[in-house]
C-alpha cells in the first residue's frame, strides 16, 4: 500500500528520472513500478516466514569489513536512501518522527545498506491498518535493503549483530521479531545464521477490499508458542483470519 507521504517522493523520483534518463527509460521504469506497486492493490498473495531471536541467548557474531562504516541515521542522512530501493523520503521522515531507528552502512559516502528498527508497532501489509502492536520489550528490525552490487557479502547478518548489540547496550529490547518472504531463501538463511528461529508462516490473499489471512505455526517448541499466540491474536483483530493449530513440516530455507 502507498501511504500519503510517499506520493511526493515518487513524484520527485519521476522528475529526476526524466531529467537523467529521458522519456523512454522513465516510461519503462514507471511500467515496472506500476506492476510491482499498483497491481498488489488489486490482487496480492504472499507468504511470510516470521522469526524471532532472544537477545539474552548466545548467538553468532558476524562483523562488517573494515572498509565499511555504520551510522544510526537521522533526517540529515535521508538523502542517502536515494541510492537504494528503499522507502520514499517522506515516509522515511515519518518513520523517524514515530521513533523508528534508521541504520545505514556506508562505503565512500554511498549507502550500500539500510534497515529500520521499530518499537511499539511493526509495519505489515497483512494488517488492515498496516501496523501490528508489538509486545513489551520486543523490537522489529524491518525493511532491510542491500545494494545489488553488495549482496552476498554478509552485510545483513553482520548488521543484525550490530543492531542486537545496540538494543542490548541501550536496554531497549529483550527480543526481536521479523518477517521475510517465504521464497527468499537467502534472507532466511541470513536470519538463521544470526541466531533467529522461525515460529510462524503467514499467508495473505487480498482481492480488492477482501482479504484472507492464514497463520500456521512451524515449530512445536513451547518457548515459541507465546509469540505464535501474539501474532495470531493481532492478525485476528482483522477480518478473515484463519489460524492453524497443527504444525506442518516447515519449508527449509
Q: pLDDT (tens digit, 9 = 90+) per residue, 67-110?
A: 899 999 999 999 999 889 888 889 999 999 999 999 999 999 99
- Among 127-131, 140-144, 179-183, 196-200, which is the least confidently predicted range? 127-131
* Residue 163: burial class (beta carbons within 10 Å; 0-12, 13-18, 19+): buried
Size (the chain), residues: 253
User: Which pLDDT does position 26 carry in this prediction?
Assistant: 75
From residue 17, alpha-carbon distances to 10, 14, 90 in Å are: 10, 5, 18
Q: What is the pTM of this model?
A: 0.78
Which grid cell sits at 3?
501511504
Domain 4-243 sits in CATH at: 3.40.630.30
- The full DSSP string for 188-211 is HHHHHHTT-EEEEEEEEEEETTEE
State the average pLDDT for the chain.
Answer: 83
User: Which pLDDT does position 205 carry in this prediction?
Assistant: 84
Cβ atoms 35, 117 nearer than 8 A: no
Residue 208 has pLDDT above 60, yes or no: yes
User: Which pLDDT does position 3 carry in this prediction?
Assistant: 45
User: Which pLDDT does position 130 carry in this prediction?
Assistant: 83
The pLDDT > 90 percentage for the chain reads 42
Cβ atoms 1, 125 nearer than 8 A: yes
Q: pLDDT (tens digit, 9 = 90+) per residue, 219-238?
A: 888 889 899 999 988 888 75
User: Which pLDDT does position 20 carry in this prediction?
Assistant: 74
DSSP state of 171: T
Residue 190 has pLDDT above 90, yes or no: no
Cβ atoms 96, 74 nearer than 8 A: yes
SS3 76: helix
Cβ atoms 235, 202 nearer than 8 A: yes
User: Which pLDDT does position 44 carry in this prediction?
Assistant: 77
DSSP state of 55: T
> Of 144, 86, 154, whose CA–CA distance to 116 is shortest?
144
User: Which pLDDT does position 9 carry in this prediction?
Assistant: 60
Measured distance CA(52)–CA(177) in Å, rounded: 4
Cβ atoms 146, 85 nearer than 8 A: no
- Work out the end-to-end distance of the chain between its first and last CA atoms, rounded to an integer number of angstroms: 27
The domain ranges of the chain are: 4-243
Cβ atoms 164, 55 nearer than 8 A: yes
199-226: average pLDDT:
85
> Of 68, 67, 73, 126, whose CA–CA distance to 103 is shortest?
73
> Of 50, 45, 46, 54, whose CA–CA distance to 179 is shortest?
50
Question: Of the spans 5-19, 48-62, 196-210, 212-226, which averages the highest pLDDT?
Answer: 48-62
The pLDDT > 70 percentage for the chain reads 81
Task: Supply angle C-alpha 126, 54, 189, rounded to 5.
Answer: 65
- Among 36-40, 118-122, 174-178, 202-206, which is the least confidently predicted range? 36-40
Amino acid at each position: 500500500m502507498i501511504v500519503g507521504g510517499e506520493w511526493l517522493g515518487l513524484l520527485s523520483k519521476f522528475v529526476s528520472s526524466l531529467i537523467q534518463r529521458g522519456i523512454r527509460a522513465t516510461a519503462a521504469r514507471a511500467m515496472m513500478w506500476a506492476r510491482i506497486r499498483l497491481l498488489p492493490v488489486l490482487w496480492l498473495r504472499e507468504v511470510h516466514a516470521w522469526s524471532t531471536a532472544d537477545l539474552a541467548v548466545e548467538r553468532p557474531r558476524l562483523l562488517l569489513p573494515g572498509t565499511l562504516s555504520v551510522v544510526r541515521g537521522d533526517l540529515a542522512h535521508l538523502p542517502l536512501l536515494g541510492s537504494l530501493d528503499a522507502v520514499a523520503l517522506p515516509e522515511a521522515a515519518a518513520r523517524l518522527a514515530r521513533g523508528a531507528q534508521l541504520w545505514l552502512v556506508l562505503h565512500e559516502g554511498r549507502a550500500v545498506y539500510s534497515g529500520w528498527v521499530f518499537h511499539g508497532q511493526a509495519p505489515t501489509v497483512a494488517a488492515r491498518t498496516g501496523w501490528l502492536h508489538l509486545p513489551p520489550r520486543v523490537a522489529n528490525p524491518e525493511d532491510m535493503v542491500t545494494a545489488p552490487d553488495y549482496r552476498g557479502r554478509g552485510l545483513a547478518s553482520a548488521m543484525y549483530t550490530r543492531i542486537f548489540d545496540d538494543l542490548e547496550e541501550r536496554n531497549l529490547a529483550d527480543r526481536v521479531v521479523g518477517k521475510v518472504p517465504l521464497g527468499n531463501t537467502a534472507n532466511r538463511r541470513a536470519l538463521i545464521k544470526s541466531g533467529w528461529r522461525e515460529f510462524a508462516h503467514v499467508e495473505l490473499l487480498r482481492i480488492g477490499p477482501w482479504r484472507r489471512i492464514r497463520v500456521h505455526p512451524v515449530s512445536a517448541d513451547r518457548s515459541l508458542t507465546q509469540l505464535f499466540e501474539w501474532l495470531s491474536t493481532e492478525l485476528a483483530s482483522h477480518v478473515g483470519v484463519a489460524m492453524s493449530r497443527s504444525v506442518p513440516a516447515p519449508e527449509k530455507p
